[in-house]
Structure 1
Amino acid sequence: MNLDIIVFFIYLLAMLGIGLYFTRKASVSTDHYLLGNRKIGAPVTAISMQSSSMSGFMFMGGPAQAFQEGWHALWYAIGDAGGSIVNLSVLGKRMRRMSQLLGALSPIEYLEKRFESTAIRVYGAAVAIIFLFAYAFAQFIAAGKALEAMSGFSYQLALVIGIGVIVIYTVAGGYLAVAFSGFVQGVIMLIGVSIIGIMVLPQVGGLSGLNGQLAAIDPTYLSIWGRDLIYYGQWGVILGAVLIYAIGYMGLPHVSVKHMSMEGADTTKNAILWSAGFNQLFTFTPYILGLSAIILMPSISDPEMVIPEMVYMLFPGIAAAILLSAIMAAIMSTCDALLMQAGTTLSRDVYSRFINKKASHKQQLLVSRLCILIGALSVLLWLYTSRQPFLLL
């Protein structure tokens, strides 16, 4: 086995270790397993929130979009950069305080108790389960695709390895494992993309050199309307590109649950500073790397593989393995949060609410873990037997 593959597997084992470390604490109570006993501080809240919301799109879909559309793709980055500020400012303090007063342990339960409507819980649980697993489906494909490129394993084997590690540490360590692994993965994402950006930008002459070369190829790459002015005059498209992330995070259960797990309502202020700083340093770089690929690798067959190809082009084996761990970090930080929230919804909002209202902590814990395991394995089995294309979200 190559040394760079060994380095990468050390990273996977480290993530697994985090999950196993928190197994005992997660088993203390339902509150511990589902919300980390509401003791998550500002740095972990902020960074894990951002890493879980950004997903594999930032390392694969975002650069591909910039490669295809030009500077227009940066509208999404602008919304993303401010999304955490809006999200935490609007929901953070209120949701943390109210969720504890109401005794809510999931976003769906919070909505039911906040608005005193059983219908909200039924509808919310159904929608959340469907789309959380659909989103996880996309991340599974991203994980398999990324690990296949990094390791040289078959797509099916890459799926089993990547998703297997995610499922094990999520099932074992619960929310604490998801939160702290998300923090570590967020740091890896930031360091990784920063190093890649520092190495790539001089190759294209900095931003001014990049723009000059793009203009020479096709001036519409520099337009706010996209390449070939495909969105010319469509301000609604631009507004939507900004708002989809600027306000969209508030509607994601695996992101909004971060508010409920904070150490206290006052944690919100520091969490805003941490997340805003992270976003400004991280968000724009993947798109700029996608633009740089137009110059450096114009004939690349799969634009979603822009960053992996850049890493292999510029860095030796071990360094490439370390940097490519950032891609898996982005995917894993979202995938574990999605699986955790799907399990929470099924156990807390369906089983404990409608099937067994007197379910003990141990029963809820068992059901949550089984739901995560069965749901993940079902999707994995389908993907293993049929390599289907799916849009990265």
Structure 2
Amino acid sequence: MNPILISILAYLGATLLVSRLAARRDSAGQEFSRRHFLGGQFMGGGILALSLVATYTSASSYIGGPGAAYKFGLGWVLLAVIQVPVALLTLGVLGPRLWTLARESGAVTILDILRDRYQNRWLLWLSGASLVAGFLGMIVVQFTSGARLLSVVAQIPYATSLLLFVSTVVIYTLWGGFKAVSYTDAIQGLVMLVGMFALLIGVVGQGGGLANLTGQMSQIDPGLIAPHGPDGFISWPFLFSFWVLVCFGTIGLPHTVIRVMAAKDGRAIARAMVLGTLVTALVTLMPHLAGALGRPLVPELASPDEIIPTLMVELFSPWMAGLMLAAPVAAVMSSVDSMLLQTTSTLVRDLAMQGRSFSQTQMKWLTRVTTLVVALACTLMAMDPPQMIIWLNMAAFGALQVVFLWPLVLGLFWSRARGEAALAAMVVGLVTYLPLTFLKIKLLTLHAIVPALLASLLAFVLVQGVVQRR
């Protein structure tokens, strides 16, 4: 059998083992929905940091991002490290207040927080529908990315690799719920660090050192070592838009915010801010730098997105390459499991359970069936993904930000904030963002996320002023 495939199968098997052990440690005394969807407030600083970073890091960080660095050079590496403060912002801005509110109210999901804070039914339905729609699109992208990666490097049919990847994620998500997902995400974060460190060392060693590699890049195109890339592609408006989309706006991403609610205490949050920032810096810098420096080593590629798996296969033995390829596989898995779990929690706990009473047994079966249905639907779409799937992914990424960012932040820090204002911010944000995105309209050369968040904030403030005057 292919050594690469054996190594990857061993990694997937280890992931299932960890999830099973985590499931056994779960507290049987807790309510099922709280145990399965949040796991209680159990995360120490280390697990919180690794889990948060691993969840945020997806296929784009190991496939698309390094591919862009391969094409545009060191300027794209500088652009990528803009997202380093993600953990610092998410934990520092929302951390203490969100954790306290979750503990006092017993909230399990993001919609629980919004329900307790605003008491607005329409807001809950819009945010729930947005979360499900956004995550479905992003899950399809992650399924597709993971399956393509396994298919190419392990030389197995795409359909087989898709079923292998999906079944692993679904099994350990069903087995242990949020706690299993968090522990496996933490381990996957470590796998990313080790794999990318080994790859970067291998690239630098193979290329004769940094100076030699950058010299060769300059000979190919001087723009590859310029801060703004070839032909000044990375402009200042582009830099600002990218920072808003992949750094500042991530404060409002539900699948990263939910981790804050599961922190053990304030000390864990403080430790995770420091460790999470360090880990984010490493897992962002190393793959992007390897992609850029790989240009002289692999000057011809059918697609820039192939640079990381190509470097792994060409620089290392099949057994070692298989182990290292666990890093991008881990990046995909650590994102998709959280999205799958939150999609299920929204459909079951936040929408289906409203006004209804279910026994613990009924909750378990409803949760399992819903998880399987969501996974099956996304798998069928991933079998033949649409050509514009990457744009749908980015659209979903930004749409979740315009829906959740201001209602979460202002709801936590503005005591008088009302549900009408939060709902207006969601509606105006979506109405601004989606047309600008799909029609590819750039106001002042800025990405759609910038005017959409500004319009959303303005709508929140204006409607809040009107409501307060009543």
Code of the residue aligned with 2:380 in structure 1: it is L
Equivalent positions of 1:234-245 (< 5 A) are 234-245=235-246
CA contact (8 A) 2:199 2:312 kept: yes
| Pairing partner for 2:231 from 228, 233, 245 | 228
Equivalent positions of 1:259-298 (< 5 A) are 259-298=260-299
Provide the C-alpha distance between the structure 2 equivalents of 1:138 and 1:214, rounded to a whole number of angstroms: 32
Distance 1:213 1:190, change over 3 A: same
Provide the C-alpha distance between the structure 1 equivalents of 2:333 and 2:56, rounded to a whole number of angstroms: 11
Deviation of the 1:205 alpha carbon:
3.9
* CA radius of gyration, larger in: 2
Provide the C-alpha distance between the structure 1 equivalents of 2:204 and 2:3, rounded to a whole number of angstroms: 28
| Pairing partner for 1:113 from 105, 111, 116 | 116
Q: Which residue of 2 aligns with 1:60?
A: 63
Deviations 1:113-143, CA, capped at 9 Å, x for gaps: 1233222211110110001111111100111
Q: Which residue of 2 aligns with 1:371?
A: 370
Provide the C-alpha distance between the structure 1 equivalents of 2:207 and 2:249, rounded to a whole number of angstroms: 34
Q: Which residue of 2 aligns with 1:383?
A: 382
Task: Give RMSD over aligned pairs.
Answer: 1.8
Equivalent positions of 1:43-54 (< 5 A) are 43-54=46-57
Equivalent positions of 1:353-364 (< 5 A) are 353=354, 356=356, 358-364=357-363
Deviation of the 1:14 alpha carbon:
1.2
Q: Which residue of 2 aligns with 1:196?
A: 199
Code of the residue aligned with 1:93 in structure 2: it is P
Larger mean CA deviation between 112-121 and 149-158 belongs to 112-121
Distance 1:181 1:26, change over 3 A: farther
**Equivalent position SS for 1:153:** coil
Identical residues among aligned pairs (%): 26
Provide the C-alpha distance between the structure 1 equivalents of 2:215 and 2:382, rounded to a whole number of angstroms: 43
Code of the residue aligned with 2:72 in structure 1: it is E
Provide the C-alpha distance between the structure 1 equivalents of 2:379 and 2:79, rounded to a whole number of angstroms: 30
Larger mean CA deviation between 21-30 and 101-110 belongs to 21-30
Deviation of the 1:256 alpha carbon:
0.5
Deviation of the 1:182 alpha carbon:
0.1
Does structure 1 residue 181 correspond to structure 2 residue 184? yes
Provide the C-alpha distance between the structure 1 equivalents of 2:45 and 2:364, rounded to a whole number of angstroms: 26
Deviations 1:174-204, CA, capped at 9 Å, x for gaps: 0011000000100000000000001101333
Provide the C-alpha distance between the structure 2 equivalents of 1:210 and 1:26, rounded to a whole number of angstroms: 53
Equivalent positions of 1:30-41 (< 5 A) are 30-41=33-44
Q: Gaps (5+ residues) in structure 2?
A: 395-470
Provide the C-alpha distance between the structure 1 equivalents of 2:67 and 2:4, rounded to a whole number of angstroms: 25
CA contact (8 A) 2:141 2:382 kept: no
**Equivalent position SS for 1:284:** helix
TM-score of the superposition, structure 1-length normalised? Answer: 0.94
Provide the C-alpha distance between the structure 1 equivalents of 2:244 and 2:78, rounded to a whole number of angstroms: 9
Provide the C-alpha distance between the structure 1 equivalents of 2:296 and 2:265, rounded to a whole number of angstroms: 48
Q: Gaps (5+ residues) in structure 1?
A: none
CA contact (8 A) 1:93 1:266 kept: no
Provide the C-alpha distance between the structure 2 equivalents of 1:126 and 1:75, rounded to a whole number of angstroms: 36
| Pairing partner for 1:166 from 150, 163, 169 | 169
Code of the residue aligned with 1:318 in structure 2: it is W
Does structure 1 residue 138 correspond to structure 2 residue 138? no
Code of the residue aligned with 1:10 in structure 2: it is A
Does structure 1 residue 99 correspond to structure 2 residue 86? no
Provide the C-alpha distance between the structure 2 equivalents of 1:76 and 1:36, rounded to a whole number of angstroms: 36
Provide the C-alpha distance between the structure 2 equivalents of 1:108 and 1:47, rounded to a whole number of angstroms: 24
Code of the residue aligned with 1:249 in structure 2: it is T
CA contact (8 A) 1:70 1:291 kept: yes
Deviation of the 1:229 alpha carbon:
1.9
Code of the residue aligned with 1:142 in structure 2: it is S
Provide the C-alpha distance between the structure 2 equivalents of 1:114 and 1:305, rounded to a whole number of angstroms: 46
CA contact (8 A) 1:79 1:243 kept: no
Provide the C-alpha distance between the structure 1 equivalents of 2:269 and 2:344, rounded to a whole number of angstroms: 26
Provide the C-alpha distance between the structure 2 equivalents of 1:194 and 1:225, rounded to a whole number of angstroms: 26
TM-score of the superposition, structure 2-length normalised? Answer: 0.79
Deviation of the 1:388 alpha carbon:
4.2
Distance 1:193 1:124, change over 3 A: same
CA contact (8 A) 1:97 1:264 kept: no
Deviations 1:54-89, CA, capped at 9 Å, x for gaps: 111111011111122222322442222111111110
Provide the C-alpha distance between the structure 1 equivalents of 2:104 and 2:216, rounded to a whole number of angstroms: 58
Provide the C-alpha distance between the structure 2 equivalents of 1:58 and 1:297, rounded to a whole number of angstroms: 19
Larger mean CA deviation between 333-342 and 23-32 belongs to 23-32
Provide the C-alpha distance between the structure 2 equivalents of 1:360 and 1:79, rounded to a whole number of angstroms: 47
CA contact (8 A) 1:72 1:223 kept: yes
Code of the residue aligned with 1:125 in structure 2: it is G
Provide the C-alpha distance between the structure 1 equivalents of 2:368 and 2:255, rounded to a whole number of angstroms: 16
Q: Which residue of 2 aligns with 1:209?
A: 212
Structure number with the bigger relative contact order (C-alpha 8 A, sep ≥ 6) is 1
Code of the residue aligned with 2:73 in structure 1: it is G
Larger mean CA deviation between 17-26 and 144-153 belongs to 17-26
Does structure 1 residue 7 correspond to structure 2 residue 10? no
CA contact (8 A) 1:94 1:265 kept: no
